[in-house]
Structure 1
Amino acid sequence: MRLLVLGGTEFAGRAVVEAALGRGWEVTVFHRGRHEPPAGVRSLHGDRTAPDGLTALAEHTGEWDAVVDTWSAAPRAVRDTARLLRDRAGRYVYVSSCSVYTWAPPAGYTEDAPLVEGAAADAEHTDYPRDKLGGELAAVEAFGTERSVLVRAGLLLGPHENVGRLPWWLGRIARGGPVLAPGPRDLPLEYVDVRDLAQWILGAVEQELSGPYNLMSPQGHTTMGELLDACVATVGGTAELRWTEPQVILDAGVEPWTQLPVWVPPGSDMHDALHSADVSRAVATGLRCRPVTETVVDTWRWLQDIGGTAPLRPDRTAKGLDPEVEAKVLAGAGGVPGTTS
């Protein structure tokens, strides 16, 4: 198989490249040259935001069985690239987001849930949900519904994460001491290891799938307790999880998802939207999700290999809780180690 990855040097794109190389595919990456791609690929350089940014891709004579695109800014970059490639590639896989659904989708929402309004394939940058939906529209406009795959990913974790969620938890636990652990311990989580996302994408190309897919683990694949317990077991040290009632955390003004990454309170619109999607369509077409411990261990190993600090994307907000805020919440809450609050 011949694969073109637009990007391919960071997180999701890199995972796709590595998985394809592992299958013996011939891989070309088109990127800006800011990061080194995995060894074994053909590199083309260009900036999709520049006036002549697609020149290297336009002048290259190659054809591909599939294109994988992870773009998340102005949709017209997807439009321009997809139009250029529609006669040179068999299938266009666009890594979108579950954020394209009208907020807030109810628990158990499928790919048929209503989508945000105001998105367009030729739009300039607006906001993340409309940009992602605009990218979907651009892919379908160029490749049609039968040759486009829309990967509506949820929470992505795993090695090379450049958003700062799991790396923050690992770093916080490595510092040791009492750790504000947002309850309840048995809060169900949905996410997907980026490597499992990559394997599903390659399988979708092989199966010649098309259309939208919610792409994250089945509901309850793990829990908040299992995730943080895995972090403690992996890192070791003196960290002590102090499980704290959700309302105590919210009353203290702590922001779910950003200040306490991954976590959102049970029963909220946010939890329904981020951790309660119906993923039966992806599972039926080959999605397999590894245990949370494997994701945590491999992410920690990668962090150690690069010196302990994860590189963060400049277009994403900072994640994590200020130590002084954490200490104040713990002092007022009396969070108890090992409880199931």
Structure 2
Amino acid sequence: MDVLVLGGTVFLGRAVVSEAQALGADVTIFNRGKSGPPPEGATQVTGDRTVAADLDQLTGRNFDVVVDTSGYVAADVARGAALLAPTCGHYAFVSSINVFPGWPEADDYRDGGVHQGDPDAARSDVPTELSDSEAYGWLKAGCELAVVQAFGADRTSLLRGGCIVGPHDGAVGRLPWWIARVARGGEVLVPGSPEDPMSLIDSRDLARFALLARAGTFEATGPPARHTREDLMQTARSVTGSDAEFTYVGDDWLGAQQVEAWTEVPLWVPGAPSMFKHDTAGAEAAGLTWRPLRDTVADTWAWQQGVPGRWQPAERTPGLAPEREAELLAGWHAR
């Protein structure tokens, strides 16, 4: 099997390369070459999908499966998909659950359908009234249309991902932040309730599903109703050997302290009933499987420890500063 990965050196793309190689595939990656060297054994084609001359390097190349982990501007995705369609078998596009404008605030975000994206849209075409999250979903919806337009529905996988976690998540690092915080020990502020549902998908499980090349549109998220916030905290404590003690702090109280959901406290969005309420039945029927949560946490922790100087939060990584956490805990206990 010959596989082309659009992306391939950072997080999800790296997982696709690794899973494809484990299947015995020959892997080529196409990216700008700015995020580090290609994974061992992969062939690098350096280029920018927004530059026609760069894309032309792929003209006439034959690949059984194309996995696009990085596309989010429809016009750029459309250009590449049209070039690849004549000689490539299948296109797996990693989209997002954000294509549903009702997610995560609606009880059932599917009721309102998906954004009416434009398959030819440039970034400048995003409707000005949309928030950043909505704009991302609108662009991804346009990308979906662009891929189907080029490859046809019978040669396309649209994988609407949710919260993707796992080793090499260095760009954002929501799960690594929680693991590192629990590993530090002591009293840990945990938002919400121990019973709050969590639905996380390991990048390697999503990668493996993409490589199955199943035609269709899928909610390729973590398993619904399988894990809770307490499961995640206890797993992190067990894996890291920490003495952490967890103090659950109410959503409303945190909101009153102007704590920012998701960006200041990772994996927490209050007042979002469908945040982790996904319908994965179609994906499961098509072959999506999930490894145990402990395996994901343990492998992520091992990767964090193996990073030179140990993993440190990036500029984009959400998470409470120690001083802010201590202040909030003192206020919670004194209320």
* Shift in Å, 1:56: 2.2
- After superposition, give the CA deviation of every residue in 1:147-166 in whole Å (9 maximum; x if it has no partner): 11100000001001122201
Report the counterpart of residue 32 of structure 1 in structure 2: 32
Residue 309 of structure 1 aligns to which amino acid in structure 2? W
- Given that 2:102 and 2:108 are in contact with CA atoms closer than 8 Å, whether structure 1 keeps it comes out as no
Report the counterpart of residue 309 of structure 1 in structure 2: 311
1:90 aligns with 2:89: yes
Residue 97 of structure 2 aligns to which amino acid in structure 1? C
Report the counterpart of residue 103 of structure 1 in structure 2: 102
In 1, Cα distance between the equivalents of 2:112 and 2:86?
31
- After superposition, give the CA deviation of every residue in 1:149-198 in whole Å (9 maximum; x if it has no partner): 10000000100112220111122223332210113111111121111111
SS class of match (1:103): coil
SS class of match (1:30): strand
SS class of match (2:28): strand
Report the counterpart of residue 298 of structure 1 in structure 2: 299
- Given that 2:17 and 2:39 are in contact with CA atoms closer than 8 Å, whether structure 1 keeps it comes out as yes
SS class of match (1:136): helix
1:254 aligns with 2:259: yes
- After superposition, give the CA deviation of every residue in 1:27-85 in whole Å (9 maximum; x if it has no partner): 11111112222211222111113353313223xx4301111101244221111110110
SS class of match (2:147): helix
- After superposition, give the CA deviation of every residue in 1:247-301 in whole Å (9 maximum; x if it has no partner): 2222211122221111223xx2x241x2001111011111111111111110010
SS class of match (2:190): strand
1:159 aligns with 2:167: yes
Following superposition, which runs of at least 4 residues in structure 1 exceed 6 angstroms of deviation?
Answer: none
- Given that 1:160 and 1:310 are in contact with CA atoms closer than 8 Å, whether structure 2 keeps it comes out as no
Change (3 A) 1:21 1:228: same
In 1, Cα distance between the equivalents of 2:181 and 2:71?
28
In 1, Cα distance between the equivalents of 2:273 and 2:263?
14
In 2, Cα distance between the equivalents of 1:5 and 1:145?
20
SS class of match (2:154): coil
In 2, Cα distance between the equivalents of 1:36 and 1:94?
23
In 2, Cα distance between the equivalents of 1:104 and 1:62?
38
In 2, Cα distance between the equivalents of 1:239 and 1:227?
13
* Shift in Å, 1:113: 5.4
SS class of match (2:259): coil
1:285 aligns with 2:286: yes
In 2, Cα distance between the equivalents of 1:318 and 1:17?
24
**Seq. identity, %:** 40
- Given that 1:109 and 1:278 are in contact with CA atoms closer than 8 Å, whether structure 2 keeps it comes out as no
**Gap runs ≥5 in structure 2:** 127-134
In 2, Cα distance between the equivalents of 1:134 and 1:160?
28
Report the counterpart of residue 130 of structure 2 in structure 1: none
Per the normalisation by structure 2, the TM-score is: 0.89
SS class of match (2:63): coil
Report the counterpart of residue 224 of structure 2 in structure 1: 219
In 1, Cα distance between the equivalents of 2:205 and 2:312?
20
* Shift in Å, 1:323: 2.4
SS class of match (2:27): strand
Report the counterpart of residue 339 of structure 1 in structure 2: none
In 2, Cα distance between the equivalents of 1:85 and 1:52?
14
Q: How many residues align?
A: 320
SS class of match (1:186): coil
1:124 to 122, 125, 128: 122
- Residues 314-333 of structure 1 mapped to structure 2, 5 A cutoff: 317-333=316-332
1:20 aligns with 2:36: no
- Given that 1:75 and 1:131 are in contact with CA atoms closer than 8 Å, whether structure 2 keeps it comes out as yes
Per the normalisation by structure 1, the TM-score is: 0.88
In 2, Cα distance between the equivalents of 1:76 and 1:82?
10
- Given that 1:72 and 1:128 are in contact with CA atoms closer than 8 Å, whether structure 2 keeps it comes out as no
* Shift in Å, 1:16: 1.0
- Given that 1:187 and 1:223 are in contact with CA atoms closer than 8 Å, whether structure 2 keeps it comes out as yes
* Shift in Å, 1:134: 1.5
- Given that 2:97 and 2:103 are in contact with CA atoms closer than 8 Å, whether structure 1 keeps it comes out as no
In 2, Cα distance between the equivalents of 1:271 and 1:39?
42
- Given that 1:108 and 1:277 are in contact with CA atoms closer than 8 Å, whether structure 2 keeps it comes out as no
